[in-house]
Structure 1
């Protein structure tokens, strides 16, 4: 194959830079997914043309790698088919998009990289691409730290405080991504021919590390420390250098942890998530509950202690640990495949299989990334880069055979049609996804000007992306109040509730949407029945209690409002009680209160409603 077309495929690695300034729901992840789909669609189309033009094709083959890849696909397929919510497991949620379909794109990308990295030139080109993208991201992060945010413009302080996140959406996602260019730059420093050649790579490594520090991503720092220690043990066994590098790794990790301070909120949050979510394992031990279902299943065991560390309105959709997430959503089958990866990495280390500089660099960054996602998870950017690095590693450590397949005209036609169908599907799926987000951004000002104008935009959204529950639940937030007076709105609400039942397989969101609709129509007994069904599935999700309390208050059922709103307030952490004593509490407590207030803007309104409802209830009695 000529090198021109495969080189163009490297545009997929620009994915960290992709951002949608016209989006509203998630301008970061959604457009990155669309970019990935578009590049892979173009690749499939080009391959289809090449298949039609050739009498035979040559493919790399290794039965071990292909067998594991086949099991990986089978794991996702079975976990999706037998999922608690098969539709949502297939498409994924709108905000994350990590369902079966996205993972099949990652799989195609992995196979393409296996083919491309046969050529050493492409490996070198890949490293330089990663470094170039990393430099752009890092410079943008520094500008953001200095108050210059070109994409977002001037804005209020975020819940991240002064932590940077560049185009990745959160500091954690930024820190995890920068592990890739950091280890390439650091590795090239050690393997440079001279000090002169090493200088630019050293400067880049310092730049990347500085931004990881600005992001205050301690999991990535820990990953760097562990990887440095592992590689020192490998490269300099039984020498003084080994002790020097191990000490350096420990010192770097320790100093940066001290620099970040003793804050343990995120660790406490993860402990609560892990300890409680593991109770769900026996519900579906073999295949798990299905991709993208954690936010539903975790509601059964969600403890109020989580809100000591997280926003009350958040839906925990991950355990923030790749091992726990895999075990719960893909069961022992998927978890076993992850463990095989860990065993394989240990085998390479113990058997001294890391011969070349490139392999050592890739091995180090995979180890560092594995440590970081022990406390987090991956999104499209990380999946695209990580699968490429795994492809490169496997290409180098295994022996590959070139299998030549002679194609008859009928076979070529069938293969080309399948590939073009995949390409066409990708384009037809990708465009409506991003269009829905743009329409959602248009909806917000239209709604506040005229709810009917907003309804028009929402219908466009439903036409573009009817497979995502996010928009149906959002529609209920904005339009429930008009259910009784507007027949058109009422019908759309019924359709939205029906879609929620289909997408979530009658999860708590479906029952709560039914409760909201029936309550708005004055059918209070039926509404209460549906509400209790929702609460049975999500007993400690504050948003349900808040919405029900507001609805009861609006219809002047103050006893019901007090019951629901009191439950909401009981779920809250005690930080709200500090409002009247800000001058006497510590600076750390004032910061906790600040974050709580901007993270939970509805809480104090709910507190006022509760006090008012209690007053009116006492007055009535």
Structure 2
């Protein structure tokens, strides 16, 4: 057996574990950007080191699959969009505080590939998921500490006023919600399927920590995505759910008590957020003009984005150049966002974001790739209800639902792309080609 090959495989496993467990935790409380730039720098360095290591070790073999064809098309249009962009530097490197240019999107694709590659090794998926849940628990505990008004990391000027707001090491409550929409589903599925009492007890507490953090994030898109995904999987696996009714009853009671307790801490801080669903609906029915302010002004952003979407339908304006495209007057900024100095740099819908910045072909290739993975995953579940398949698929679906209302960021996206790669490897192991 070749030692270099073994080292390559171990290096890849370390890289994937780092992406899932270390990158989300990185914070550098100095300078102007505590959360995003440090993450993308470390992620880029790790990626370059891994590629150099692989190039120096010839025994490493690339594994290609026709399932990657849609991803190749997507990356082709990402690169073409960046090359022909009027804003080349930003298209390749990304906008300030976002850093999701073409180079970062290529790194995401490499994360997917290496996650897929390392998952062919026995037990690697287990190690990766364990590391992800440990990291997510730390994030969850930190977010709970913030919810109670404490913070052991200095805050920048922008976040000084975020009293009792949970964002942990991810930089924003919405991003915390995006992350937890995946990890909560993974933990929940593992807990419900676990038959070992000690492990089941541990997963029960992990699930409660992640649920508590999800509630504290006050991110409605994440609440909706986890609720819809949970409902979908309850319907699909009804027989299995019935078998675990005792676990479900205990978990539901615990979640109700946690929700009540956390809501009581700040006199309805959470219930007010939940009731905002109804308030948005009432605003629309009373005054049609209010529709533009619904969903934290998302309707306004989406409506304005549709005005630009057909300007450059083939290649868009370049990856992560939304702030160069989106325009609003100072009066509009003050009316909708409370300040004439506010600017919008993301579409607050991942799919609209891709269409307007990289064009319809890139969006179609991306959706084709996702649809293929989801279809083959469900096909694999018909053959064999592998728990890793279930938890990874639920995480992917939950993320994709919340992506209708949220944005892709370097704090969360690397984990999503890694989970996609793990899911691909899981359905391959189930014999689906």
Give me the TM-score of the superposition, normalised by structure 1. Answer: 0.58
Structure 1: distance between partners of 2:135 and 2:231: 27
Of 289, 297, 311, the residue aligned with 1:283 is: 311
Structure 2: distance between partners of 1:117 and 1:311: 48
Gaps of 5+ in 1: 402-621
Matched, 1:22 2:30: yes
CA deviation after TM superposition for structure 1 residue 209, in Å: 1.0
Structure 2: distance between partners of 1:171 and 1:266: 18
Task: Say if 1:102 and 1:400 are closer, same or farther in 2 by CA, change over 3 A.
Answer: farther
SS in 2 for 1:299: coil
Structure 1: distance between partners of 2:93 and 2:272: 41
Cα shift readout 1:387-407 (whole Å, capped 9, x = no counterpart): 111111111223799xxxxxx
Structure 2: distance between partners of 1:154 and 1:323: 31
Match of 1:199 in 2: 201
Task: Say if 1:115 and 1:342 are closer, same or farther in 2 by CA, change over 3 A.
Answer: closer
Matched, 1:260 2:273: yes
CA deviation after TM superposition for structure 1 residue 154, in Å: 10
Match of 1:461 in 2: none
Cα shift readout 1:39-91 (whole Å, capped 9, x = no counterpart): 1122122212212xx4xx4332312x231221121010111122232222112
Match of 2:290 in 1: none
Cα shift readout 1:351-409 (whole Å, capped 9, x = no counterpart): 463631001100101111111111111111322111111111111223799xxxxxxxx
**Residues 107-186 of structure 1 correspond to what in structure 2 (within 5 A)?**
107-152=109-154, 158-186=160-188
Structure 2: distance between partners of 1:156 and 1:100: 27
> Which gives a bigger RCO, structure 1 or 2 (Cα 8 Å, sep 6+)?
2
Structure 2: distance between partners of 1:339 and 1:234: 23
CA deviation after TM superposition for structure 1 residue 242, in Å: 12
Match of 1:59 in 2: 62
Match of 1:220 in 2: 222
Match of 1:101 in 2: 103
Task: Say if 1:344 and 1:258 are closer, same or farther in 2 by CA, change over 3 A.
Answer: farther
**Residues 183-582 of structure 1 correspond to what in structure 2 (within 5 A)?**
183-236=185-238, 258=271, 260-263=273-276, 264=280, 267-299=295-327, 304=332, 307-309=335-337, 311-344=339-372, 347-348=375-376, 351=379, 353=381, 355-398=385-428
SS in 2 for 1:353: helix
Structure 1: distance between partners of 2:93 and 2:216: 34
Cα shift readout 1:228-276 (whole Å, capped 9, x = no counterpart): 011112212799789999xx8xx99x99985524334660500000011
Cα shift readout 1:198-228 (whole Å, capped 9, x = no counterpart): 1111111111111111110111111110110
RMSD between superposed Cα atoms in Å: 3.1
Of 77, 80, 86, the residue aligned with 1:78 is: 80
Structure 1: distance between partners of 2:158 and 2:406: 26
Please tell me whether the aligned partners of residues 62 and 398 of structure 1 are also in contact (alpha carbons under 8 angstroms). no
Structure 2: distance between partners of 1:241 and 1:266: 41
Matched, 1:5 2:7: no
Structure 2: distance between partners of 1:11 and 1:396: 20
How many residue pairs are counted as aligned between the two chains? 390
Match of 1:546 in 2: none
Give me the TM-score of the superposition, normalised by structure 2. Answer: 0.81
Structure 1: distance between partners of 2:333 and 2:241: 48
Cα shift readout 1:78-109 (whole Å, capped 9, x = no counterpart): 11122232222112123110111111111222
